[in-house]
Structures are given as C-alpha cells and as structure tokens.
Structure 1
C-alpha cells in the first residue's frame, strides 16, 4: 500500500472534524492562486490551507463567533446589569458574575482533575508567577528551583526573578541540559539530579511538553521522585493541555499553569488556567498567595470587607473578575472537544497522526537520522522523541547545513516555500521548523500533502 493510500485508509478510520473549525484559505492568507501553480493544480483560492500550527495558535471553532456575539449583545442590551441579569439567561447563558464557573468541569476533564482543583484565570506566566509566590518558600537549606535548560524564555524569567525576590542569585537555579550531542532530556538524568540534589531543591518545575523539541516529560515519575525528596512540584502545561491525556490529580502534582490558545483553541492571548491539588487545601490555615477579590468568599464579595476569606480550592487563587469574551471563547472550544470525542479519543488519533507524519518524513530522501546528521548536503533530521508516549502532536525538524545568509539558509528557504504554498507551520530560528497536526481538525491527507511539498521545496532548493 502506498503512503498516499495509507492516508486515505487512516482518514476513514479516524474522523476529522474540520467542519467545526474556521480554516484560513489561500485567498484569506494573501497567497497566490494555487491553480496557477503546476504543483497544486487541484486547489483554488478558496481552498483551505494545510494548518499544522496548532502548537502556536489553534484554529477558531465556528461556534466561538456566536458565543462572543451573544455577550456583545448582552453588553449592549443591559450593560453592567448583565453581571446579575443576563438578557439570555433563559437560553442557558450565564450571568457574568459566574461566567467562568461552567468552564470548570470542562477544564477538569481535560487535565484529569477534580473540579475544585481547577480555576480559569489569568495568562500562563502570570499564573506561573502567582503560584510560585505561594509554593516557592525557600529555607536556608532548601532554596533551589530545578527546571530544564532552554525552557521557554518566559519561564526562565519567572524562575530567575522568583529566586531574586527571595534574595538569591542565579546559582539558585538548576537547569538540566540534554547530554552532549542529544536534543532532549533523559528521564533518568532528571531523576538522578533529584536524587543527588533534592534536599536543596524547593521546587521542581518542568514543562509538560518542551516547546522546542516537543518532548513530553514523564510527569508521574518525576513528580513522585521529587516528592520523595521533599520537593514541591509544578508544571508548565502550555504545550501539553489539550494535546495529551493528563491526569494531574492521580499523578499527585502540586500545581500547574497553562495557556489556552494553542491546543485549546481559545483565541490569541486567551485566558489561562491553574491546577492546585486538593490535598493542599486541607490545612486549617489558608496558604498565602497573590490575592484579589475574585478569590474571596463569593457570598460576601460585594460587601467590600477588609477580611480575606479565600474560596476553598483553586478558585481561591483568582484575583480579578475574568474577561467575559475570553471565557466564552474558551467554553465554546472546550464544548467542541466533546463533539470531537473527548481528549482520550483525540489523543489516540494524535498518536497515529504524528506517527504517520514521522513515517512520511523518514521516507524522504532528504531525511537523515542522528548518525548521519553531519551530512554536508541539504537535509533535515527529527529532534523530537520517536516514542509516541514521549511526545505530543508536534515534530520538530532541524535543517542543515546552516548559512548566515538568510537567502541561502536551508530552513528559511524551505519555510518560505511551504508558506507560499499553503502549509502553515512555524519556525524557530535559526534552523528548526515545527509541524503539529492537531487531531480534531487535521487529517492524514494533510500530512501527506505537506510532506510532498516539503520534498518539492528541497528539490527547488537544490536547483
């Protein structure tokens, strides 16, 4: 069976829910009419592009338009009174004062949590900083933070400034890097570091999925090992939430933060979320935090009392009333997840989808494995783990050789070729392209067509 026929077979086996999402077209992207290209004659200006960029910004669910418009109507019809008297309450819409509450059970299901352990609030780095303020409590002997080298820069800034706020310098940061010549961390190296240095570590805080390589860390094992040594464990789930089947409660994670505009499709800059394990709520005295009135006892919130009585659970970590537009955008997307079969079914398809993409790439004559990655001819290799359980939807391709001249550089030439022909992915300069087929709206045929164009891009580059 050819790889193209295999794509058709897999598309029959695994449903794709493209009809639920708004796709950019060649026309809307300002691209050249594909019918005028010999390599893409079957497409027109109105054809959807191949969108493999859900790891950066997910596509908009079509239902989001109505959800947002309903709240704009409510604002127009009743203004401030929509907080307590929503004009469409009888149609199932929520008063603004409780706008985020219907999202909680949907989020809890996505991250494998109890409802009281989850809150919809803030943005990723704001939430991470907020949680670290509560959970990073250094002592004379236990004051270090362990995380990965080359974490997303925003995470590094947060960790660095947390230790500085407590009077320490950069030496309080332990950053683990992959072994020489390798691209991703081995779990045993993380566990060894925890074993050897755990008594000096206050917080362990890795990314659930590493943004650059796409590595999916073993959250359960790392969390357990860190707890044995007395460390608090948090996770940045920006690239993991909505991508893999998380079980934060079962894995005994202390805290986690995430954004929602990638695989959760909530829109650019959409509202984030947090997780705090329920066992941390059983103390008689509440944990100090960055506090605000939206985390206070809701029954007395509008009495404006100078008495902080936090709501039990993660909701007590909220600070301000959330953006109504952001929340309903997230809700519409999370409801779309259910229409697509839920996170478990989507993860099953995602593993098959990414494996098929990997097979296509490895069959390219321009692919090199790690042993042959020093080839002087233009080529690429895959720097994402090959084990499906150690990655999400993303495959990161490293292109070589590198030239300082952007007109000659392999990656930039390939990226430009793909983009002009409707393959929307993202680059990480100087030499990486990330491809992320999303199971809810990408098909196996999307992957086949994209890799076909990748090979054509190399052929043009060689010419």
Structure 2
C-alpha cells in the first residue's frame, strides 16, 4: 500500500489544511450506528450550516415579537432583506453588487431572463444549448421557442461531444457559434455540466457569442459556490443559479440571478414586471406606472420569503468565515485532486473518470463509471451507500461524487475510495 493511500496520510493532510475548522460550522449526518456519513453529495444538496438555523430562528423570533413591524425593525428588517445577500452573491460570481439579486427559483429565473434576452426574429431565432442539458433547462428552452411560434427542431442547436467522447471540446463549441451565430438569438449553457462535472470556458463562449450578435447566459447551478467566476468582466448578459447545492441554503431555497449592468438602464428591454422590481423610492405611492430600478432588482416580481433568505445569509456568512470563494476553490483543487489521485492509483482498471483532468475544466465533482464486467454503476452505488457513503447516481451509468471544501475532509476521500474498492471487489467475486 502506498503512502498516499493510507489513513495516516489523509489525517496529515487534514491537519495541514487551514480550512479544516470550517467543517465544524456544519451539521454532518450520521449513520444508524452513530458514525458520521461520508457525505459527497453537495453537488445535489449541501449540508446545513449551523448559522442557517440560527438566522432562521432569529426571524421567527422577530415575527413572533413584532408582527408586521418586522418589515422595518431590527438589525435585518424584512423590507430590504434580499439586499443583505447581494454582497455575498457578487463575491461568488464576480459581479457588482447591483448586478445580482436573490429571487424565485432557478428555472423560473431562466424563463424570466429569456423574456428579456430571447427576442427571436425570422432571421435570428435559434438557441444554442448542449444536447445533454439538465432536463429542466431543455424544457425551458423548448417551451420558450414554442411560445414564440417557432419549431424546436429548427431553432434548437444541440452541442454534442465527439463520437466516443464524454465531454465537449472548447473548439467545437466555438465552431458551432461561428457556424450558427448569425441565426442565433441566444446561447444558454451551463457553467459546470451537471452530468460530467466539466467546467465550460464561459469567457470564451461569451466573447464568441457577442461577436456574432448573440445574447449569452449561463445556468450556474453547479458553478455557484464551486468555482471562481468573473461574470461582470466576462461581459455575460445574464446568469441564474440555485443556492441549495454548493451554497448550502436548504432544499428548494430561493435562487440567485445576475444581469450585467449595461442592461439596467434599458427601459425598452422587455421583461415581466412586478411590485418588487419597481423603484423603491416610489413603490409605496401605489401608482400603476412601472418604473424599474436600475439594477438586477428590476427583474424581481414579488417580495421574497424571508425564512429562506435567512438560511442563505447563514450560508454566505459561512463562506465568509472560510475566507471567500477563492480560498475555498484553492482547497477544492487540492481535495478533489487528492481524490482523483487515489482513484487513479487504486482503481485505474475498474473505473473511468469522465470529468476533465485540467483544473480550469473541472470543479469539485468527479463523475465515475464502472468498467467491471457483470456489474453496473447502480449496483456499485447501492453497495457504497449501504456502507455509509452518500453520493448520487445519474442514469445510465454515472456515480457523481463531490468532495465539498467547506465540510469534506481528506479522510472522507480516503474512506470513500476504500469503500469503493471493497464494493467493486464484492461485485467481482
């Protein structure tokens, strides 16, 4: 057994980790026997930060004591509560504070963004997405095309990996934009592909799309809280993300949205409007003429659910305790790199890693397939789950594991590989 694959080595790496203490800021689920789970599922639902419960309980107390006066009283009044999240969101995605807002849920936000940024004409009506987009994104795009009276068979450009490959090549994406750009109204791709864990080159895609006159937006569900981004500097038109994966805000929590500042003063830009997007200074004059705020807040419709925002604020403050996304990303590269090393050393013949090796093209998640004759990925997944590992399975044959830098450890990675080895050996016997 190599020094790399040993409990002692993993424990040494944890002892040297300057962010190791952040794990104590989270509730780690336990198995029936009382041992902590090996929780590698933050790409699906992040664990609960201890601050989340504290902050939610604070607002329950405010509601109990103040009733409606809580909208304007206390350290965190409800009326502007979404603004308390803006700085944290801006840091995470590389934006100005006025370019981000917490509102709605992810797919709803994608629809609201397409109201503004998908404006098809007879000459320019296509949307470029990936062939293996998360189903909700595909449904949203297809329904928007149909809503505008076009045929998805003609208006959807689906990017596919090359034959025999699992991930998209940068040059193929850019070539498709060059080929179809003159007839494309919108490019909408993921920042991180949910199935393979591939990080797309958002800066290059945006530049290429704008050169052809296309609007460019991104679904950052698997990117926010996972990788570093510079949406403002990259000139991205819009982006949307959920907050319950790497941002640990709780199941179904309120999502986030980015709109580049160059769009904020365009009052002719179509949008669905609501009270909470109206100019704050005149909102309570109750006039029926909509005056949008000159920020991403103008795309809000309704006042947001405070209890959900409180949980998000707890999560963002936990990120701040860790030193921010750049320090978390630095740890993530080391942590996931260590897991990849162990997998390649111990199970090189038995598993295949779909996620690209290059650090610029990968985040926390590694997507694995099993090469074992007579055993599929689901069989192996069931075995490791029974042994105390929480990760997830995506059909037809991918096990997704995500060592999250906020609460996962090097010992987690070691123990996972040990359990995976035993599961594969058991399936082969």
Q: Same fold (TM over 0.5)?
A: yes
> Which whole-Å CA distance do the structure 2 matches of 1:401 and 1:202 have between them?
45
Identify the match of residue 398 of structure 2 among 428, 432, 435. 432
Task: Summarize deviations over 1:161-195 as a string: whole Å, max 9, x none.
Answer: 11111110112000111000000000000000111
CA distance in 1, matches of 2:232, 2:372: 45
Q: Is 1:60 paired with 2:42?
A: no
Q: Secondary structure at the match of 2:244?
A: coil
Q: Which has the higher contact order (CA 8 A, sep 6+)?
A: 2
Instruction: Report matched runs for 1:64-103 at 5 Å.
Output: 64-85=52-73, 89=74, 92=75, 94-103=76-85
Runs of 4+ deviating beyond 6 Å: none
Q: Is the 8 A contact 2:45 2:245 kept in 1?
A: yes
Structure 1 residue matching 2:229: 3-state secondary structure? coil
> Which deviations, in whole Å up to 9, do the C-alpha atoms of 1:21-71 show, x marking residues without a partner?
0010113xxxxx3xxxxxxxxxxx2x2111100000000001111111111
Question: Aligned runs of 1:76-225 on 2, under 5 Å?
Answer: 76-85=64-73, 89=74, 92=75, 94-170=76-152, 171-225=154-208
Task: Tell me the equivalent position of 2:333.
Answer: 351
Alignment of 1:292-441 (within 5 A): 292-365=274-347, 367-368=348-349, 379-400=350-371, 409-441=375-407
CA distance in structure 1 between the partners assigned to 2:172 and 2:406 by the alignment: 34
What's 1:18 paired with? 23
Contact 1:400 1:431 (8 Å CA) reproduced: no
For residues 456 and 402 of structure 1, the distance between their equivalents in structure 2, rounded to whole angstroms, comes to 16
Contact map agreement 2:370 2:376 (CA 8 A) in 1: yes
SS in structure 2 at match of 1:433: strand
1:286/1:310 contact within 8 Å kept: no
DSSP-derived class of the 1:316 partner: helix
Supply the distance in 1 between the matched residues of 2:222 and 2:62 (Cα, whole angstroms).
34
Aligned to 1:371: none
Residue-by-residue CA offset, 1:229-268 (whole Å, 9 max, x unaligned) = 1110000000000000011001110100000000000000
The alpha carbon displacement at 1:380 in A equals 2.2
What is the alpha-carbon distance in structure 1 between the residues aligned to residue 225 and residue 268 of structure 2?
Answer: 30
Residues 199, 361 of structure 2: 8 Å contact kept: yes
Q: State the alpha-carbon separation in 1 of the partners of residues 165 and 201 from structure 2.
A: 18
Structure-2 separation of matches of 1:452 and 1:176 = 37
Q: Give the structure-2-normalised TM-score.
A: 0.96
- Structure 1: tracts of 5 or more residues without a match: 28-32, 34-44, 369-378, 404-408
Take 1:68 and 1:281, find their aligned partners in 2: how far apart are those partners?
Answer: 32
Structure 1 residue matching 2:42: 3-state secondary structure: coil
The aligned counterpart of 1:248 is 231
* CA distance in 2 between partners of 1:363 and 1:302 (Å): 64
SS of residue paired to 1:101: helix
Listed as ranges, the matches of 1:224-243 within 5 Å are 224-243=207-226
Query: Superposition RMSD on alpha carbons, in Å?
Result: 1.3
Structure 2 residue 30 is the aligned partner of structure 1 residue 48: no
- The 2-side partners of 1:396 and 1:270 are apart by 25
For residue 140 of structure 1, give the secondary structure of its aligned residue in structure 2. coil
In 2, Cα distance between equivalents of 1:174 and 1:364 = 40
